[in-house]
Structure 1
Amino acid sequence: MNDKSSPRRPRQAGVAAALGVACLAFVPAARAATLPEVQVTKAAIPDFEFDSARNGKLCASCNGGQSNSLFAFTAADGKLWVATVDFQTGAFYPPDGHGVLVDTETAPVVDFGNGPEWMSGASGSRIVYTRYKSGATHSESTAQIGMATMLNGSWTPSVLANSAGRATPDGSKDDTDTDPRINYIAADKSALFWRKMSKSSTEVTMPISDLTGGNSRRWVPGTRKIIFQGHVATDPRLVDQVFTYDTDSGAVEQLTFDKVGKYGGFMWKAPEYNNEYVFFTMADFRRKILVYRKVAGTDGVKRWTVTKTITPPTQLPFFWSPEVFTHNGRSYIFTVVSPSNKFWDKAYPTHLAITGIDPLKQNFKMLTNDTTKPRVRLDPEYFITAKGPFIYYNRMVPVTDKYPEGVNDGVWYVDTGLGAPVSK
């Protein structure tokens, strides 16, 4: 679930180009160690999302024999496509992503801030997405929740009952779950809801609409909890904090309480800490990433405590779109680093970086550093191939007066250099 709701503001091309030249002059050591950026396709594939093979475990028989090494996206014309990722090489097939046409009249990312998402479960994968009522004018009131299921070798689209006026669904991410779930929002952001697949016609209202509009919410893998940012209405500071909501018990838990505003959140099982749950969030106006772990205080009570503070390079002082994956017993946070504090500001070149979460190791590393061709790098996603973790992203030529929307430069990946998955 991506936070793509902030406005864009064009900048002067000369400034952007100058920054592109200067951005990484301070990391010459990283240049030699960084593997080159690889173009996957010249096609524009906005907001693509990978199925569960991205975690480094290929299931060739899954999804009617189409495997779980897939990606989905909605094109600008509203068509929802599914295509294949070559697990061995990382290539897309077909390169433009137009493999199987799943549905039409689905909402492009620009409409509500997010494209299709995957739902994992013991019975296979499903795709959940915002779909407009067929033949109707596209609006908040005609948006509804679509879901595509693999039936008899074909992706079969459907619409959840009584889901008019709903948008931006996200499916739970647990391959062993016999009853996976979906959460979504009212298209006007006035309420949040969830359903479980065993009772897919029953909508449950989440009691958190006074805390959040739902822009930043994610399932906690291995649980039926949702982590999100929001603020308590009675807090005079109106500072966003991190919360969880448990769809099983209905419990809402506030995890952070300090005076620094938070932006987004990811919670996962960290192999470094015997698979304890930890989480990270951005803070200080996206100039820091804070990693939290439950640590016992002097009174013996465990509380969520910052165990690592991650800061970006001086000339790229803002984090955007950070995510996390685990690989060979370690956790890694990857992120866009930008000179601009405006989300999706397409005038400034941006870069990608990666870091571990061990507080005793300073292992922040730039993944991209090409300053000869200023490029904007957007919406990174991980996929752990047979060769190791790759970070995929859209790339574009920055905005100029001549090209006010920028120029598409296709989909690229960069090898993290972390090596192939080690079998246990």
Structure 2
Amino acid sequence: MDRAMWKAVVFAGVVGLSLTAGAQPVDEQVSAGLEFLDPEFRGLSATYQDNNRWIWQAPVDPVTGVILSSQRQLIDGQATSLLESFQGPEWVRGSDRILYTKTVDSVPNLWIKRPGMSPAQITAPPAARYLLTGILTSRGTVKVVYRRKETLAGGGLSQGVYWLDTATPSVEHLLPGADLGVAPVSWIPGTEDLVYTQQHDMDPGPREQWVSQLVRLSTATGAITVLTSDLDAKEDSFAFQAPEAQQALRYATVVNGGTLRIYGESAAAWVDLQPPSQLGFMYSPEVFQARDSQGTVRTYFVVVMRASTNPGDVGEVWVLGLNGSALRVDGGTASQPRQPADPEVIAGSSEIFVYYNNSANLALWRSRTGLAVP
């Protein structure tokens, strides 16, 4: 595995980025096991699932970053177990609506909760559908991406990644070649397009060489644009707007299992980021912005590093700066290691917090990063 930082540096404005001066992460357990599963944040509000398959919404204290469960509101019940869905409730990007997977009559399907309204079912059996992500459209409808699984009459299994518009939920669109993993697809900021990885034959001759490449799919036209051409394996792709490059769009992906790669203005220009960790497997990258020691807004990423591909193995939570700086924010030690999963970032009134579920009982932990909000 290539552990070299800065395999190529052709990216506008990354030099000089540093973590906020005096940043001191503080790692604290904030709940018992199985109380807050896979929390997601929108502003100072959280939505999450508990072990009884209830879905909740609760405010977040802006100073401490604590989820105020005493003020929580029930969204719905019968949520599909995370062991099956791999995904808790999600905020619709750009809105205060909540999407989730709910099991009715033994079949998981897509549901939505709109403020002030009762939960509404989007899709129905016989196919099973598992939520991935959703976005508010310019027309006020919601486009939803999900995994679809259906047993055919002949006994075969049909499965893939699809998207639909809630205006016409019976019309389902396949994402050609999309991986069936936990986080295979992401929305591109400022658009209703998707980025994901797709296998391509990179050998023009008779000898095949299939490599995963980033592609961009337009949900308006169905057109697919191939974004990359290098020969490294890719997964967990996403896009973001970089303040270091005047908010220009950048694409990111985990390559070869353990390195976060950021592509610049062309597919031939990239930066590779990796923390100084002995653990070689990277998972669950999330992008956010914070201020550096000079008060300049910069791009950061939170990632989980693990010792193996086993999701229950020991791990670490790291914050990476776009220039390669790194800050470990979990408090694990050799004698008391962490088993982190799915870190999420929230901006308080002055500080960036990182949440993650930890250990086999999935207790919720909160890291005070010491990083200043944008």
2:56 alignment partner AA: W
Q: SS of the residue aligned with 2:244?
A: helix
Q: SS of the residue aligned with 2:209?
A: coil
Q: SS of the residue aligned with 2:119?
A: strand
> Which of these residues, 29, 34, 40, is aligned with residue 30 of structure 2?
40
Q: Residue 419 in 1 paired to residue 372 in 2?
A: yes
Distance 1:363 1:337 in 2: 16
Distance 1:258 1:386, change over 3 A: same
> Which of these residues, 65, 68, 71, is aligned with residue 90 of structure 1?
65
CA contact (8 A) 2:27 2:331 kept: no
Q: How many residues align?
A: 334
1:192 alignment partner AA: V
Distance 2:354 2:137 in 1: 22
Distance 1:40 1:417 in 2: 18
1:272 alignment partner AA: E
Provide the residue aligned with 1:149 in structure 2.
Answer: 114
Q: Residue 308 in 1 paired to residue 299 in 2?
A: no
Distance 1:177 1:387 in 2: 34
Distance 2:332 2:280 in 1: 18
Provide the residue aligned with 1:345 in structure 2.
Answer: 312
In the TM superposition, residue 160 of structure 1 has moved relative to its aligned partner by: 1.1
Q: Give TM-score scaled by structure 2 length.
A: 0.81
CA contact (8 A) 1:78 1:108 kept: yes
Distance 1:187 1:269 in 2: 33
Written as runs of structure 1 = structure 2, the 5 A alignment for 1:260-275 is: 260-275=232-247
Distance 1:105 1:269, change over 3 A: same
In the TM superposition, residue 113 of structure 1 has moved relative to its aligned partner by: 1.7
CA contact (8 A) 2:48 2:88 kept: yes
Provide the residue aligned with 2:192 in structure 1.
Answer: 224
> Which of these residues, 253, 257, 281, is aligned with residue 318 of structure 1?
281
Distance 1:107 1:233 in 2: 37
Q: Residue 195 in 1 paired to residue 160 in 2?
A: no
2:217 alignment partner AA: Y
Deviates more, 1:251-260 or 1:305-314: 305-314
In the TM superposition, residue 391 of structure 1 has moved relative to its aligned partner by: 0.7
Q: Residue 392 in 1 paired to residue 355 in 2?
A: yes
Q: SS of the residue aligned with 1:232?
A: strand
Distance 2:25 2:69 in 1: 24
Distance 1:175 1:195, change over 3 A: closer
CA contact (8 A) 1:144 1:164 kept: no
Written as runs of structure 1 = structure 2, the 5 A alignment for 1:21-32 is: none
> Which of these residues, 258, 271, 277, is aligned with residue 287 of structure 1?
258
Distance 1:383 1:201, change over 3 A: same
Distance 1:219 1:307 in 2: 21
CA contact (8 A) 1:160 1:200 kept: no
Distance 1:200 1:148, change over 3 A: farther
CA contact (8 A) 1:143 1:164 kept: no
RMSD, aligned α-carbons = 2.6
Distance 1:175 1:86, change over 3 A: farther
Distance 2:126 2:51 in 1: 22
Distance 1:269 1:163, change over 3 A: farther
Distance 1:239 1:183, change over 3 A: same
Provide the residue aligned with 1:108 in structure 2.
Answer: 81
In the TM superposition, residue 43 of structure 1 has moved relative to its aligned partner by: 4.1
Q: Residue 365 in 1 paired to residue 334 in 2?
A: no
CA contact (8 A) 2:101 2:111 kept: yes
In the TM superposition, residue 388 of structure 1 has moved relative to its aligned partner by: 1.7
Q: Which has the higher helix share?
A: 1
Report percent identity of matched pairs.
23
Distance 1:193 1:175, change over 3 A: closer
Q: Which has the higher strand share?
A: 2
Distance 1:127 1:72 in 2: 8
1:113 alignment partner AA: F
In the TM superposition, residue 218 of structure 1 has moved relative to its aligned partner by: 1.3
2:258 alignment partner AA: R
- Output one character per residue of 1:83-112: Cα deviation in whole Å (capped at 9) or x when no partner: 2212232111116xx822222222121112
In structure 1, the gaps of 5 or more residues are 1-31, 54-68, 295-302, 397-405
Provide the residue aligned with 1:333 in structure 2.
Answer: 301
1:125 alignment partner AA: D
Provide the residue aligned with 1:5 in structure 2.
Answer: none
